[in-house]
Amino acid sequence: MKSVIHNHYKSKAALLEESIKNFDVDDGYVLKQSRNSLKQVYIDDWKINIKSFKKPNIFNKIIYRYFRKSKAQRSYEYALRLIELGIGTPHPIAYFEESHGLLFGRSYFISEQLQY
């Protein structure tokens, strides 16, 4: 599994990876369950959001594996850019991408939970 973790959160890498591995069985609070899934998860006293993007069709499995950035990677990079521009957005923590052989699998984007 490919992972990119923001430097501020490298110390929590193992906990973040464990949250991804247990995404489908974890009892985190489901915020949205449809095409994509969004869960609120606690790691110790730290509240985070994990978005799981749906598995792409066979054509997109090839495209995302070799030619285009995944939705999770784009979410992570866009959040960094918005912060750089001074636009309020949840801080991006990490993204993970699964691959199965030569094909792309699921991807996950993790961000901090903001209280509003």
pLDDT band at 60 (very low <50, low <70, confident <90, very high): confident
Domain count, the chain: 1
Which range, 45-49, 58-62, 93-97, 111-115, has the best average confidence (pLDDT)? 93-97
Q: Supply the range of the domain harboring residue 108.
A: 2-112
User: H or E segment at 42?
Assistant: strand 37-43
- The more confidently predicted of residues 34 and 9 is 9
Q: Regarding beta strands 29-33 and 37-43, do their DSSP bridges make them parallel or antiparallel, or are they unpaired? A: antiparallel
Report the C-alpha gap between 59 and 39 in whole angstroms: 27
> What would the pLDDT profile of 32-53 be if each residue is shown by its tens digit?
667 788 999 988 888 999 999 9
Instruction: Judge if pTM exceeds 0.75.
Output: yes
User: H or E segment at 15?
Assistant: helix 13-21
Nearest to 25 by CA among 4, 36, 12, 41: 41
CATH number at residue 32: 3.30.200
